[in-house]
Amino acid sequence: MAKPGKDSGWGNPIVYVAALLLIGLMLGPVLYIILGGFRTNSQITVDPAGLPHPWEFGNYTDVLTSETFWRQVGNSTIVAVATTVGVVVLGVMASYVLARYRFRGRGAMYALFAAGLMFPVTVAITPLYILVKNLGLVNTLPGVILPQIAFGLPTTIIILVPFLQAIPKEIEEAAAIDRCSRLGFFWRMVLPLSVPGLITVGILAFIGSWNSYLLPLFILNNQDTFTLPLGVQAFASQYSVDTAKVLAFTSLSMIPALVFFSLFERRIVGGLTGAVKG
Amino acid sequence: MSSNFGGKRAVVTEDAAGRRVRGGSGADTPPPLRPRRRGIGWAQRLEIAALSGPAILMFVGFVIFPVLLAAYYGFYRWKGFGVPTNFVGLDNYVTILQDSSFHEALQHNGLIVVLSILLQGPVAVGLALLLNQRLRGQSIIRVLIFVPYVISEVIVGTAWSLMLQTNGAVNDALKSIGLGSLSEDWLANPKLAIWTLMLILTWKYVGFAVILFLAGMQNIPEELSEAAAVDGASYWQTQRRITLPLLAPTIRIWAFLSIIGALQLFDLVYIIWGQYVASTAGTSTMATYMVTEGRNAGNYGYGNAVAVVLFAISFVIALVYQRFVLRRDTQGALTEGQ
C-alpha cells in the first residue's frame, strides 16, 4: 500500500490541516459520547457542548456495576461468537466447494449466494419473525443466531472464494501425490493457509452481529434476552432524564466493536474492498 | 506482505474472469474441450453435498424461504396467529399503493437514494484525493475516518439525537462560536429533518466510500501519473483525466451498494425519530412504514405485502443497475449464472 521511496518528505501542509479538520468532524460525536459520560447532568444542561469539569466517574462505575449491563454484554457476546463460528465454518466449507470443485450447478450456487448480498435482513424481517416464532425460538438467542448466520453467508462466501482459489494448484497436486484425499487436503492445507481470510470474515461477522438491531428488535422482547443495542435503546428511554448515564452506557457498549476493528483494521478494509472489487 | 497478497488476488480475478468468459461463450457455441473433463464420481458428489449442504440449507431456510413466505402471507388479512384463512387476494397491495403515507415513505426513500449519491460521492472522492497525497500518518487517518462506520446504528442514533435536541450540544456549539442565529429544531422541523438525516447518514457512511475509493486509487499504476507529469500535466489535469476515469468502476459499485442501503434504510430513522414521529417529521422510509403498519399494528399479512413491495422495488432497481451501469465493469453477480 505504501509507496516506497516517496515517503521521505512531509508533503503539503494544507493537506494536514484538512485531514485534521476531517478527523475532528468524524470523531467529534464519538468524543461527545465518551466525555459526556464523565460529566454530571447539571454540567450537560448548563453547557451542552462543554468538557467535564470536574470529571465525574460515577456514571461509568454505576453502569459497570449494574447487572443489566453485564447480562446484555453476555447476551451480545454469546450471539456474536456463535454467529461468527457458524458463519466461518459453514462459509469456508461452501467456499471450498465453489473454489476448488468443478461441477454442474456451480455457477448457479455462486449466483444464489451472491444475490443474497443485495438483500439485507430488512426485506425478509417480517416473514423471518413468523418463521422463528413457528420454530419456537422467539425470545431465545438461537432465534437471532440462526438467521444471522444465514444472512452472513453471502459476504463470507464472496470474500473467501477468491481467497481459496488463490491457493496454488501445485500444492493440491503435491498433496494428491502424497495420497492425501481432497478432504484431507481441505483439512490439512486449505484451512491453515486460509486463516487470514477466515479472520477477515470472522471479524466482519462479529462486528455485524454486535451492532445488529432490527433482528433482535423483532425476536427478543424479553428484557432478560436483550443484546446491547436493544439495551442501549431501552436504557436511553428508561433514563431519558439521566443523559450522563445514558452516554456512559452508550460509550461502554461500543468498546468491543472499536477494539476489534482497530486490531484488525487492515484485514477488514482489505476484505471489504476485495469483496466489492471481486 | 500485503502487496504480495494483492498480487495473488489480482491473478485470481483474472483467472476467474477468464473462466467466466469461457462459460458464457459456451452457451451459444459448443463448449471448448476441457482437459480432465470426465464427469465427477459419486465420492466427489458426496463431498460437495456434505461441504456445501449445511450452508445451502441455512441460506435457503432463513433467507429464501422467508421471502417466499412473505409472498404467500401477503395475500391474507392475518394477525400472525395460526394458519392464515382470510384470503383477500390483492387487497393488501391495492391498499399499499393507495396509502398516502406509503407514497411519502417512497418519496423519502427516493430522495435519500439520490441525495446519498450526490452528497457522499463528491465528498468521498475529494477526501480520497486528499488522503491519497503524500501524507504522514495516512494509515491512522484511514482508521479514524472509518470509526463512524463501525459504531452501531443505535449508538449513532442515540448520540446524534441527544446532540441535536433544541437545547443540545450542536445548537450550544453554534451559539458559542457566534452563530446562534443558525440554531434550529433539527429533528422535528419537517422542512429540515430529512436534511439532518442526510447529514447523519453522510457522517456515518462516507468513511466506507473513502476507504473504497482510496483502495481503488492505490490500484492505479503510478506510471500513468508519472507519464502525465512528464508531459506537463498539472495535478488537477492528472486527477481529472487519469484518476477519476480509472476510479469509475469503483464508484459505480459503491453507488450500487449505496442505493440498496438507502432503499432499505431502517435503523437510524427508527431509533432517532421512532415510529410515530418519523412520518410527521418527513423522514419515514418504506422499511419503517413496513414495521409500523405491519408488526407494530399486528397486521402481519399487510406487513408481509409491504415486504414484497420493498423487495420487488429493490430487486428491479438492482437488476436495472446491473444491466445498464455495471455491465461494463464486471460480469455482475446476478447475471453470473446465466
User: Grid cell 436534511 — which residue?
Assistant: B195
| A256 cis-preceded (ω within 30 degrees of 0) | no
Residue A10 phi, psi dihedral angles, 5° rounding:
-95, -15
Contacting A residues, span 95-154, partner chain B, CB-CB under 8 Å: 96-98, 101-103, 107-120, 122-131, 133, 146-147, 149-151, 153-154
pLDDT digits (tens, 9 = 90+) for A148-187: 999 999 888 888 888 888 888 888 788 888 877 777 888 8
Q: Which of A25, A158, A276 shows the shortest C-beta gap to B212?
A: A276
The Cα A219–Cα A227 span in angstroms is 11
Whether B23 and A107 lie within 8 Å, measured CB to CB:
yes
A6 pLDDT band (50/70/90 cuts)? very low
Burial of A250 (0-12, 13-18, 19+ CB in 10 A): buried
If you compute the radius of gyration of chain A from its CA atoms, what whole number of angstroms results? 23
Chain B environment of A91 (Cβ under 8 Å)? 55
C-alpha dihedral, A65 to A71 to A76 to A82, nearest 10°: 130
Whether B304 and A96 lie within 8 Å, measured CB to CB:
no
Give buried/exposed letters for A197-222 (b at 16+ CB in 10 A, else e): bbbbbbbbbbbbbbbbbbbbbbbbee
The Cα A210–Cα B48 span in angstroms is 32
The Cα B272–Cα A229 span in angstroms is 13
- Whether the pLDDT of residue A210 is over 70: the answer is yes
Instruction: Give me the pLDDT at residue B40, please.
Output: 66
Domains of chain A plus CATH, in order, are 13-56 (no CATH), 71-277 (1.10.3720.10)
**Smallest Cα–Cα separation from B306: which of B261, B268, B333, B266?**
B266
**Average confidence (pLDDT) over A176-203:** 82
**Smallest Cα–Cα separation from A255: which of A55, A79, A77?**
A77
3-state secondary structure of A123: helix
Domains of chain B plus CATH, in order, are 70-313 (1.10.3720.10)
Chain B environment of A32 (Cβ under 8 Å)? 159, 163, 169
**Smallest Cα–Cα separation from B52: which of A201, A100, A175?**
A100
> Which residue in chain B has the smallest CA separation from A94?
B52
Q: Is the Cβ of A21 closer than 8 Å to some Cβ of chain B?
A: no
Residue of higher predicted confidence among A258 and A145:
A145
ipTM of the shown complex: 0.82
Cell of A177: 501425490
The Cα A150–Cα A144 span in angstroms is 10
Residue of higher predicted confidence among A37 and B32:
A37
> Which residue in chain B has the smallest CA separation from A11?
B134
Instruction: Give me the pLDDT at residue A79, please.
Output: 94
3-state secondary structure of A242: coil
Whether A250 and B52 lie within 8 Å, measured CB to CB:
no
Whether B146 and A3 lie within 8 Å, measured CB to CB:
no
CA distances from A206 to A85, A88, A133, A182 (A): 9, 10, 24, 30
Name residue B76's beta-bridge partners. B87
Instruction: Give me the pLDDT at residue B217, please.
Output: 84
Whether A277 and B13 lie within 8 Å, measured CB to CB:
yes
Chain B environment of A262 (Cβ under 8 Å)? 143
Positions in chain B whose pLDDT score sits under 70: 1-40, 180, 275, 327-338
- B190–chain A nearest CA distance, Å: 23
The Cα A252–Cα A249 span in angstroms is 5
Chain B environment of A129 (Cβ under 8 Å)? 295
Q: How many CB atoms lie within 10 A of CB B130?
A: 18
Instruction: Give me the pLDDT at residue B4, please.
Output: 36
> Which residue in chain A has the smallest CA separation from B79?
A130
Q: Which of B144, B153, B311 shows the shortest C-beta gap to A26?
A: B144
**Smallest Cα–Cα separation from B337: which of B325, B322, B324, B320?**
B322
Mean per-residue pLDDT of chain A: 83
Instruction: Give me the pLDDT at residue B43, please.
Output: 79
**Smallest Cα–Cα separation from A125: which of A214, A229, A226?**
A214
Give the DSSP letter of residue A278.
Answer: -
- Whether the pLDDT of residue A235 is over 80: the answer is yes
- B191–chain A nearest CA distance, Å: 24
Give buried/exposed letters for B61-94 (b at 16+ CB in 10 A, else e): ebbbbbbebbbebbbbbbebeeebeeebeebbbe
Helix/strand number for chain A, H first, E second: 16, 0
**Average confidence (pLDDT) over A231-253:** 85
Residue B76 phi, psi dihedral angles, 5° rounding:
-120, 155
> Which residue in chain A has the smallest CA separation from B203?
A26
pLDDT digits (tens, 9 = 90+) for A44-101: 777 777 777 788 787 888 888 888 889 999 999 999 999 999 999 999 999 988 888 8
The Cα B110–Cα B317 span in angstroms is 12
Q: Which amino acid is at B105?
A: A
